[in-house]
Amino acid sequence: MSNQTSVTEFLLRGFSEVQELQILHFVVFLVLYLAALMGNLLIITVIALDRHLHTPMYFFLLNLSFIDLCYISVPVPKSMVNSVTNTRSISYSGCIIQVFLFLLFAVAELSFLTVMAYDRFVAICQPLHYETVMNRRACVQMAASSWFSSIVYSALHTGNTFALTFCGGNTVDQFFCEIPQLLKLACSDVYRREVGAVVLSAFLGFCCFVFIIVSYVQIFTTVLRIPSEQGRHKAFSTCLPHLIVVTLFLCTFMFAYLKPTSSSLSGLDLMVAVLYSVVPPMMNPIIYSMRNKEIKTALRKLIGWRLFTMNKMSIFLP
């Protein structure tokens, strides 16, 4: 990732220059960040402790919650620190790390959402073969492939970006380092790199999107053939949260990354960036816990056990 440039740091865009609004931005981001952390940590804890949830579906959900924890932790804490300290700077190496990690977890999330669609397809459309197809080894291989492909994709994209020479200033028109805004600062010919980045992102997103759509067309076709109304409701209840999460993530992410940087509107980009970097990690635990009876049952058991333990301790304490 070596490049010939005099840029030693970048300046990130703040949400406001007014100190009171900076404090408001810090408070709002802190609330959203804590909500995302608590929600995803709770999902991870419940799945890890409840043996009834040690199934392929919840194994992938555990990975997704871990990704959401990391995903929101890449841009948000730095933005909050900048608001409190009234600074906007991020080091050159810090920007590289932020770009690499954000891309890594974003692509990993898309990969696991795609794998989860396949899991639901096998469970509903081929229930007799589910245990054979989605065995422990297959699940581990799918998860490992998702992580490996995400790392490779992120490394290639990050290396391609920071191989450029930056001489168009060092102010990133975003509250964290992201590739579309960094390309605006490059003084070398970025047309081919920009087209390559858009084509590669479009190809990746399109393949995952088509796979998910095809899977759900098959799923809904099969569900509508189920004679029992209770069976149809159960099948829809396991698929609907995943479909909502996929829609929320893909719509905002593709809007930001599948358009040329020259057409970027800074205010609009800022709001869209908040949507795809903060909202999905915060909403995913809520969506899955509200629509999933097994998760809610496991949560009640965990909370009940904790209350019982605390009451038991209070009896013996003087």
CA-nearest of 112, 117, 138 to 219 is 117
Residue 273 CA to residue 175 CA, distance in Å, equals 8
User: Mean of the per-residue pLDDT values for the chain?
Assistant: 81
pLDDT the model gives residue 313: 46
Token code pair at residue 194: 């920009």
What is the set of domains in the chain, with CATH numbers?
A: 9-307 (1.20.1070.10)
Q: Give the C-alpha distances (Å, rounded to integers) separating 11 from 17, 58, 82, 263.
A: 14, 40, 10, 21
In the chain the first and final C-alpha atoms are separated, in Å, by 62
Percent of the chain clearing pLDDT 90 (strictly above): 27
pLDDT tens-digit map of 277-299 = 888 888 888 887 766 677 777 77
Highest mean pLDDT among 100-114, 221-235, 245-259: 100-114
pLDDT the model gives residue 228: 77
Q: Is the dihedral of CA 119, 125, 131, 133 positive or negative?
A: negative
Q: Which pairing describes strands 171-172 and 9-12: parallel, antiparallel, or unpaired?
A: parallel
Give the range among 144-158, 193-207, 213-227 with minimum mean pLDDT.
193-207
pLDDT tens-digit map of 39-49 = 999 899 888 88
> What pTM, to 2 d.p., does this model score?
0.84
pLDDT tens-digit map of 77-135 = 999 998 888 888 899 999 999 999 999 999 999 999 999 989 989 988 888 889 999 99
